Structure 1
Amino acid sequence: MDKFLHLEERGTSTGQELRAGLTTFLAMAYIVFLNPLILSEGMPDVPNSALVTATCVGAAVMTILMGLISNRPLACASGLGVNSMIATAAVTTCGGDWHAAMGVILLEGVAILILVLCGLREAIMDAIPVTLRHAISVGLGLFIAMIGLSNAGIIVQSGSLIGLGELNNTFAIGVISIVATVLFEALHVKGSILLGILVAVICSIPLGVTAMPTSIVSPLDFSTFGAPFQSDANGVMGIAKVVTDPALLILAFSLMMSDFFDTMGTAMAVAKQGEFLTEDGNVENIKEILIVDSAAAAVGGLVGASSITTFVESTSGAADGGRTGLTSITTGVLFLLAAFFSPIINCVPGAATCGALVYVGYLMMGDVSSINWGDIQEGFPAFMIVAGICMTYSISAGIGFGFIAYVVCAIFGRKLDKIKPLMWVATLAFIVYFLSPLFS
Structure 2
Amino acid sequence: MEKFFKFGERGSSAGQELRAGLTTFLAMAYIIAVNPSLLAAAGVPMNAAVTSTCVGAGIMTIFMGLFSNRPLACASGMGINAVVAFTLAAINGADWQVSMAVIFVEGCAILVLVLCGLREAIMDAIPVSLRHAISVGLGIFIAMIGLADGGIIVANESTMVAFGDVTSPKFLVGLISIVATVILYAMNVKGSILIGIIIAVLCGIPLGVTQMPTGIVSALDFSSFGAPFMVDSTGTVAVVRVLTTPILLVFAFSLMMSDFFDTMGTAMAVAKQGEFLNEDGTVENIREILIADSAAAAIGGLVGASSITTFVESASGAADGGRTGLSSVFTGIFFIIAAFFAPVISIVSSAATCGALVIVGFLMMTDVVDIDWTDLLEGFPSFMVIAGIPLTYSISNGIGMGFIAYVIVALVTGRGKKVKPLMWVATAAFLVYFLLS
Question: Normalising TM by the smaller chain, what interval?
Answer: 0.7 to 0.9
Q: Cα deviation per residue 1:369-405 (whole Å; 9 max; x = unaligned)? A: 3322222111111111211222223333322222221
Relative to structure 1, is the Cα distance of residues 183 and 230 closer, same or farther in structure 2, using a 3 angstrom cutoff?
Answer: closer
Describe the SS at the equivalent of 1:80: helix
Tell me which residue corresponds to 2:355.
Answer: 355
Tell me which residue corresponds to 2:42.
Answer: 38
Unaligned runs of 5+ in 2: none
Instruction: State whether residues 36 and 55 of structure 1, in contact with CA within 8 Å, keep that contact through their aligned partners in structure 2.
Output: no
Relative to structure 1, is the Cα distance of residues 137 and 214 closer, same or farther in structure 2, using a 3 angstrom cutoff?
Answer: same
How large is the RMSD of aligned CA atoms in angstroms? 4.0
Instruction: State whether residues 121 and 260 of structure 1, in contact with CA within 8 Å, keep that contact through their aligned partners in structure 2.
Output: no
Identity of aligned pairs, percent? 51
Q: What does 1:221-370 align with in structure 2 at a 5 Å threshold? A: 221-223=221-223, 225-226=225-226, 238=237, 241-242=240-241, 246-247=244-245, 250-267=246-263, 270-271=266-267, 274=270, 276=272, 287-303=287-303, 305=304, 307-310=306-309, 314-316=311-313, 318=315, 321=319, 329-330=329-330, 332-370=332-370
Q: What does 1:161-172 align with in structure 2 at a 5 Å threshold? A: 161-167=160-166, 168-172=168-172
Tell me which residue corresponds to 1:19.
Answer: 23
Tell me which residue corresponds to 1:43.
Answer: none
Partners of 1:397 and 1:271 lie apart in 2 by: 26
Please point out which of 127, 130, 139 is paired with 1:129. 127
Partners of 1:240 and 1:148 lie apart in 2 by: 31
Relative to structure 1, is the Cα distance of residues 196 and 84 closer, same or farther in structure 2, using a 3 angstrom cutoff?
Answer: closer
Partners of 1:175 and 1:357 lie apart in 2 by: 12
Partners of 2:165 and 2:22 lie apart in 1 by: 36
Offset, 1:48: 6.4
Tell me which residue corresponds to 1:427.
Answer: 427
Partners of 1:194 and 1:221 lie apart in 2 by: 23
Q: What does 1:58-207 align with in structure 2 at a 5 Å threshold? A: 58-70=56-68, 71-77=70-76, 79-82=81-84, 106-159=104-157, 160-167=159-166, 168-207=168-207
Describe the SS at the equivalent of 2:213: coil
Describe the SS at the equivalent of 1:132: helix
Instruction: State whether residues 68 and 329 of structure 1, in contact with CA within 8 Å, keep that contact through their aligned partners in structure 2.
Output: yes
Describe the SS at the equivalent of 2:30: helix
Report the residue type matching 2:341 in the other structure.
F
- Report the more deviating stretch, 176-185 or 379-388: 176-185
Instruction: State whether residues 170 and 209 of structure 2, in contact with CA within 8 Å, keep that contact through their aligned partners in structure 1.
Output: yes
Instruction: State whether residues 21 and 326 of structure 1, in contact with CA within 8 Å, keep that contact through their aligned partners in structure 2.
Output: no
Describe the SS at the equivalent of 2:82: coil
Instruction: State whether residues 181 and 355 of structure 1, in contact with CA within 8 Å, keep that contact through their aligned partners in structure 2.
Output: yes
Offset, 1:263: 1.4
Q: With structure 1 as the length reference, what TM-score do the two structures score? A: 0.78
Partners of 2:175 and 2:254 lie apart in 1 by: 32
Report the residue type matching 2:153 in the other structure.
I
Offset, 1:278: 8.6
Relative to structure 1, is the Cα distance of residues 215 and 432 closer, same or farther in structure 2, using a 3 angstrom cutoff?
Answer: same
Offset, 1:105: 5.2
Offset, 1:116: 2.9
Task: State the aligned residue count.
Answer: 420
Instruction: State whether residues 141 and 364 of structure 1, in contact with CA within 8 Å, keep that contact through their aligned partners in structure 2.
Output: yes
Partners of 1:138 and 1:278 lie apart in 2 by: 26
Instruction: State whether residues 38 and 87 of structure 1, in contact with CA within 8 Å, keep that contact through their aligned partners in structure 2.
Output: yes
Tell me which residue corresponds to 1:4.
Answer: 5
Tell me which residue corresponds to 2:218.
Answer: 218
- Report the more deviating stretch, 118-127 or 103-112: 103-112
Unaligned runs of 5+ in 1: 41-46
